[in-house]
Amino acid sequence: MAKIIVIGSCSVDFTTYAPRLPSPGETLIGTKFTTSFGGKGANQCVAAAKLGGNTSMICRVGNDQWGKSYLDHLKQAGVDTTFVKLMPEVTTGIAQICVAESGENQIVIVPGANAYLKKEDVEHSSQLLTTADVLIGQLETPFETTLEAFKLNKGIKILNAAPAKRGIEEILPYCTILCVNESEASLLTDCDVTIKNAVTTLKKLLDFGCETVIITLGSEGAVYLSKNSQQPVHVLCEQVVPVDTTGAGDAFVGALATFLVLHKEQPIHQIVGAACRVATLSVTKEGTQTSYPNKFNAFEKEYKYINL
């Protein structure tokens, strides 16, 4: 069965819910508090596993109560944890999240053990990385480690360039797919991203050397452009009332990876549309990984798209 590898972050999410997001210096009384498993890497890995992907995680967590709990959680989700390392005297990464009634969120991340993911982790897992069908990386762990893994893998490589940062051009020629949201695309291209200028932005990102660029647009779906086709496409998605948008982008990436290997006979607009559907389903529930859908027939419908 096709193997999906995620190299990246694991964090514990401490989430508060409030009527709205606080202004600077303001204290709000919230309505609810939850503790859950998150981190962009693990979110994407669990999203893929829940959809039927054969997944493995390369990461580091603290040798504390949260790290041990996370390790058990990944195993229960069906993720191969052979290359999850418990680190002594280092805390597991955490994310402090505030969610408004509108579904908007603010997030502060403390990397903890995520900052210690090293090239030696790539070396220890080199056989797995070399033969994996899909490799997913993000930017919540050291860039040099992700770059080393991308150089090694021979399959489909998906970089979710989040959190957005400059100076990542070196990795982009190794990317099969660069996946970013509007704000991340804006930072990388120095232009505000809208549907109207999406084609220009896609072409700028494609010039960095990756094969395909996908920009996710939240409730507006996603746009993409590939070097092979040179036809920019806007894939539309269903409109819903969001409950919590946290982790929706990760749901998209995990679904994208899974559908690329399990439904590779499908046209790319259908795969992107199905990934948008998974992300849309996730925002209708609270939480990150807990909001991700289990395996279902995501290709029972034709997804609407527009050639730009």
Structural domains in the chain, CATH included, are 3-9+40-58+115-307 (3.40.1190.20)
Residues in the annotated binding site: 11-13, 39-43, 140, 181, 216-221, 244, 246, 249-250, 282, 285, 287, 291
How far apart, in whole angstroms, are the C-alpha atoms of residue 61 and residue 71? 8
Residues in the annotated binding site for K(+): 244, 246, 282, 285, 287, 291
Number of CB atoms found within 10 A of residue 31's CB = 11
Helix (H, G, I), strand (E, B) or coil at 137: strand
Residues in the annotated binding site for substrate: 11-13, 39-43, 140, 250
In one letter, which amino acid is 58? Answer: I
pLDDT band at 286 (very low <50, low <70, confident <90, very high): confident
Q: What would the pLDDT profile of 92-135 be if each residue is shown by its tens digit?
A: 999 898 989 888 888 888 999 999 999 999 999 999 999 999 99
Residues in the annotated binding site for ATP: 181, 216-221, 249-250
Helix (H, G, I), strand (E, B) or coil at 144: helix
Residues with active-site annotation? 250
pLDDT of residue 88: 94
Percentages helix, strand, coil for the chain (3-state, rounded to 5) are: 35, 25, 40
Prediction pTM value: 0.93
- Whether 233 contacts 306, CB under 8 Å: yes
Q: What would the pLDDT profile of 155-178 be if each residue is shown by its tens digit?
A: 999 999 999 899 999 999 999 999
Closest CA to 67 of 11, 22, 18: 11
How far apart, in whole angstroms, are the C-alpha atoms of residue 224 and residue 123? 33
- The helix or strand, by DSSP H or E, that contains position 63, with its residue range, turns out to be none
Q: What would the pLDDT profile of 170-227 be if each residue is shown by its tens digit?
A: 999 999 999 999 999 999 999 888 888 899 999 999 999 999 999 999 999 999 999 9
Q: Is 267 exposed, middle or buried (0-12, 13-18, 19+ CB in 10 A)?
A: exposed
- Whether 150 contacts 159, CB under 8 Å: yes
pLDDT of residue 104: 86
